[in-house]
Amino acid sequence: MERKMTASEKTRRLVIIGALGGISIFLGVSGIGIIRLPLFSITVMHIPVIIGALLEGPFVGAAIGLIFGLFSMYQNFTAPGLTSFLFWNPIIALIPRVLIGIVAYYSFKLLSTKLKNTAISATISSILATLTNTIGVLGLTYVLYLDRYAAAKEISRDAVAGTLLAVGLTNGVPEAIASALIAVPIVVTMLKMKKK
């Protein structure tokens, strides 16, 4: 049976959710959260979700993911673009973002017991969590909005799968690498400090 949290532990969790959720929103509002490169863009707004999950558990990770998802809905409602309709749907905007934290935590927990190496476990978990978001958003786009996406992009229905796969490879893979490069040093350092 899990130990009941003290009031100070609950407060700490709320503070961490607020702080990391705020960082995710700041990354989005400031534009820092999207690194634009000549051929593609890398989003790093999901990294606070991973950090929160690896340091504080699945509830914290899921809560920060929810904040990230709600902000993404807000952004797409207030400054709509060609495919903003995807993120008007809470299923696409929220579920993959909440799952980032859950996948990050449980994969990290499992890998830590098997590999006995915090850095490697955190690296693999960060990559898996990022790909969960990428595959979740693109997969749900295909399932829920195949025709509408094809019309928005002015491509045939048959070309949608290839287009989404290309987006997944050009954006998802660099985002997964970036999440590992940024999140892992922070997580490893913080976990060492916790042990002291």
The pLDDT of residue 111 is above 90: yes
When comparing pLDDT for 79 and 107, which is higher?
107
Cα–Cα separations (whole angstroms), residue 167 to 49, 110, 141: 22, 29, 12
The pLDDT of residue 38 is above 70: no
C-alpha 118/C-alpha 193 separation (Å) is 13
The pLDDT of residue 1 is above 60: no
Domains of the chain: 11-195 (1.10.1760.20)
Q: What is the pLDDT of residue 87?
A: 94
Q: Taking a C-beta distance cutoff of 8 angstroms, is the pair 43, 75 a contact?
A: no
The pLDDT of residue 192 is above 90: no
**Residue closest to 64 by CA, chosen among 82, 51, 83:** 51
